Chains A and B, each alone.
Chain A
């Protein structure tokens, strides 16, 4: 599903991602863990196509389609979704307007045509119910004045509405207390399925108690330096990143 091969990314002339290779098959959830500055956020921004995060070498494909040459909205239309570490506030734009615009843009790009106002409302209400979110959230401007938990729940709601093929969760646990974390993880788990892949990027093991990964990769100095099962996350939690990093230097 997601195949990254020998990816290199420079930011302001400094190499951040340095020959990263990673494959996430459909139906699997992989975690990428790493210390601060290891390139976690750079990886998610590069995959999503943010300006200034261009690959200098290597490839990244989703379902066989080359991602790196596409605009962010084209990647979204292909089914790539990034749940932001810091969801952005858009004052004055009601959440309902935002998700409707996004959903219709994605549907149009996929040749599915826009949803009627009624069908859209039905869909939104169904998803809100699934996730136990109050419709009032969508009447407020996007993320404006939201608590950390509300922002992350809003990300999960958008994910559920857009039904992406592949989800990247960038440090979704940051800024969440344990109750909020459970709710968000619960929403993410409902999205798991045989057709969908996920990449969960996190610094701490805590999130992986609630979103159980199939595989765990350790990112350090811009490369995957170790891959293992869920037990690897526990090991990192216990021993810290020191041992793994020492291995890289050697």
Chain B
């Protein structure tokens, strides 16, 4: 039985089972425009999902219908028409893809060049027709070695669609366990219509033998706008996971709503690093991605640890608060963030540290940089529950302004219900100093490079948390993101 025939058969079964029927042609490449139960069924059928997952999605969809889009962020954007969007397109539809790099926006190519990305990789990133990832990495061999090494260690690293087929028991146990499907408006939307994402499982006592990166995951193209990631670290295990890419990816979807869930059991550690560089729109704010992300970690086991590091330079709108629920005693959560907003970009980002366990510790280092007409907000919650005996938090929140048309805002929320818990918060706001720029320029460093140097210095504490190679790229990215912000 071919895959398509199987899908059709599944859909027919579904048709019998559900009263809502199924009007969309499953052979179609794309789901029809708009969002309805049919869209949800279509996606689930296309992915040949088990029944429980379809039910799960539908429940998320029904909850979403009853929810309101959050409006508390310091963000302004026109209302999003959720019925005027497509929620599923066939993975290989690249009809509009450029034929070669000659057809790609020269601005994008200029950026690739500055980042020093090889030609082949540029083609993949720009979405040029018929470029496969394994061509780019020259190398079935790299992919094979890579897969073999992971398999030997017992690590599962696959797309979430694959995991749903291969490891349904794990997915079913953990999906929604950290971010419930009705957690918030965008998480509910994602739960209803997520198309793909990554799945990682690190068995007990295993230290993952390499950094895992979506960028290197085979068949990573087209993860789509509603990405869903689930990482489980069993007792005593460790993994470092890199998400995103310093190079801007071609993407025609304006709305992105991802969900990331991390679970660490006793003595396990997950280090999760993100570089987000989606299209921010032009200098007048036209175009640009809206990025509404729910990322949360559950430090379930004693002495477990999660560390979030993010470098956010892209997107027109960023709404993102990677969080940690510190449930296990002596568990630790860290959040290191650099958020750069230039031109008309708006970022409202921060973290939540929820302390439940005894002697839990959290550390927040946030560096916000605003330039042009951008607005950049840090929003963070530190919550000490009554059980959080002797818990500790340290928050440092620094803002840097370039020019006088931009804004930086800090919204720290502290709720402490335990008298032995201690919370420290430090915040600074400064303008990039004319003294510093003149000093650099007197030494021969051009104005834009001087700004990049000073800003990289400002972000250093965070950038040094990134894995080495990523950190070097991220520094270049910081420079590129601020181009045109002075002079």
Chain A residues in 8 Å Cβ range of B438: 48, 50-51, 72, 88
Could you tell me if A98 and B442 are in contact, using CB atoms closer than 8 angstroms? no
Given contacts A88-B433, A88-B436, contact A48 B456 (CB under 8 A): no
- Indicate whether B454 reaches chain A with its CB closer than 8 angstroms: yes
> How many positions in chain A have a CB within 8 Å of any CB in the partner chain?
31
Cβ-defined contact, A93 with B435, below 8 A: no
Min CB distance, A189 to chain B, in Å?
22
Q: Choose among B433, B434, B446, B453 the residue that contacts A93 (Cβ–Cβ < 8 A).
A: B453
Question: Contact partner of B439 among A81, A84, A92, A97, CB < 8 A?
Answer: A84
Q: Which single member of A88, A91, A109 contacts B444 (CB below 8 Å)?
A: A109
List of B residues within 8 angstroms of A89 by Cβ: 436
Q: Which of A48, A75, A76, A162 has the most CB of B within 10 A?
A: A76
Chain B nearest Cβ from A87, distance in angstroms = 7
Main secondary structure of the interface of B (DSSP, over half): helix
Asked if B453 contacts A101 (CB within 8 A), the reply is yes
A50 to B441, CA, bound (A): 9
Interface 1/0 per residue, A162-200 and B, CB below 8 Å:
100000000000000000000000000000000000000
In the assembly, what is the distance between CA of A49 and CA of B439, in Å?
11
Let me know if B456 and A72 touch, CB within 8 A. Answer: no
How far apart are the CA atoms of A101 and B452 in the complex, in Å? 11
Verify B444–A77 contact, CB threshold 8 A.
yes
B459 and A92 form a contact (CB under 8 A): yes
Q: Is the CB of A102 within 8 A of B436?
A: no
Chain B residue nearest in CB terms to A78? B444
Contacts A91-B457, A105-B449 known; A158 to B443 CB distance under 8 Å? yes
Are A92's CB and B460's CB within 8 A?
Answer: yes
Is there contact, CB below 8 Å, between B456 and A73? no
Within the assembled complex, what's the spacing in Å between the Cα atoms of A75 and B445?
11
- In the complex, the answer to whether B447 meets A73 with C-beta atoms within 8 Å is yes
Chain B hits for A207, CB < 8 A: none
The residue of chain B having its C-beta at the shortest distance from the C-beta of A88 within the complex is B439
Contact between B439 and A73, CB atoms less than 8 A apart: no
A106 and B444: CB pair below 8 A?
yes
A88–B435 contact, CB under 8 A?
Answer: yes
A230 at the interface (CB under 8 A from B): no
Contact A105–B446 (Cβ < 8 Å): yes
Q: Which residues of B contact A31 (CB under 8 A)?
A: none
B251 at the interface (CB under 8 A from A): no
Assembled-state Cα–Cα distance A158/B449 (Å): 18
Contact of A73 with B457 in the complex, beta carbons under 8 Å: no
Find the B residue at minimum CB distance from A93: B457
A87/B439 in contact, CB under 8 A: yes
Contact B439 A105 (CB under 8 A): no
CA A235 to CA B69, docked complex, whole Å = 79
Is the C-beta of A130 less than 8 angstroms from some C-beta in chain B? no
If A50-B438, A87-B439, A88-B436 touch, whether A105 touches B457 (CB-CB below 8 Å) is no
Q: Which bucket holds chain B's interface residue count?
A: 20 to 34
| Residue numbers in A under 8 Å from B439 (CB-CB) | 84, 87-88, 90
* A88 CB contacts on chain B under 8 angstroms: 433, 435-436, 438-439
Shortest B429–chain A CB gap in Å is 15
Q: A51-B434, A93-B453 are in contact. Are A72 and B441 (CB under 8 A)?
A: yes
B458 at the A interface (CB under 8 A): yes
Contacts of B458 in A (CB 8 A): 91-92
Distance to closest chain A CB from B410 (angstroms): 19
Given contacts A90-B439, A90-B453, A93-B454, contact A102 B461 (CB under 8 A): no
- On whether the beta carbons of B444 and A141 are closer than 8 Å, the reply is no
Q: Which residue of A lies closest to B462 (CB)?
A: A92
Q: Which residues of B contact A91 (CB under 8 A)?
A: 457-458
Query: Using Cβ atoms and an 8 Å threshold, which residues of chain B touch A82?
Result: 442
Does A71 reach chain B (CB closer than 8 Å)? yes
Bound-state Cα–Cα, A86 to B433, Å:
14
Q: Which of A21-51 contact B (CB under 8 A)?
A: 48-51
- B443 to A, closest residue via Cβ: A102
> Contacts of B459 on A, CB cut-off 8 Å?
92
Which residues from A are CB-within-8-Å of B449? 101, 105
Q: Which of B439, B442, B447 has the most CB of A within 10 A?
A: B442
Q: Is the CB of B456 within 8 A of A105?
A: no
Measured CA separation A98–B449 after assembly (Å): 11
Contact A71 B453 (CB under 8 A): no
Smallest beta-carbon distance A83→chain B, Å: 10
B443 partner, pick from A49, A51, A97, A162, beta carbons under 8 A: A162
Q: How far is the CA of A92 from the CA of B478 in the complex (A)?
A: 14
The winner among A81, A82, A92, A103 for most chain B CB atoms within 10 A is: A92
Alpha-carbon separation in the docked complex, A103 to B460 (Å)? 22
Q: For residue A126, give the distance in angstroms from its CB to the closest CB of chain B.
A: 19
Give bound CA distance, A103 to B449, whole Å: 13
- Give the residues from 446 to 477 in chain B that come closer than 8 angstroms, CB to CB, to chain A: 446-447, 449, 453-454, 456-461
How far is it, in angstroms, between the C-alpha of A162 and the C-alpha of B459 when the chains are bound? Answer: 27
Nearest residue in B to A97 (C-beta to C-beta)? B453
| B457–A90 CB distance below 8 A | yes
Closest to A80 in B: B442
> Within 8 Å CB of A98, what residues of B?
440, 443, 453
List residues of chain B with CB within 8 A of the CB of A72.
Answer: 438, 441-442
Min CB–CB distance A53 → chain B (angstroms): 10
Chain B residues, CB < 8 A from A87: 439
CB distance from A224 to the nearest CB of B (A): 24
Q: Which residues of B contact A76 (CB under 8 A)?
A: 441-444
- In whole angstroms, what is the CA distance A141 to B447 when docked? 20
Task: State how many angstroms separate the Cβ of B396 from the closest Cβ of chain A.
Answer: 13
Closest-by-CB residue of B relative to A82 is: B442
10 new A-B contacts at CB < 8 Å, known A72-B441, A105-B443: A77-B444, A87-B439, A88-B439, A90-B457, A92-B458, A93-B453, A98-B443, A101-B449, A106-B443, A106-B444
8 contacts between A and B (CB under 8 A): A73-B442, A73-B445, A84-B442, A92-B456, A93-B454, A101-B449, A141-B457, A158-B443
Binding site for A on B (CB under 8 A): 433-436, 438-447, 449, 453-454, 456-461
The 4 closest A-B pairs by CB, nearest first: A92-B457, A93-B457, A92-B460, A76-B444
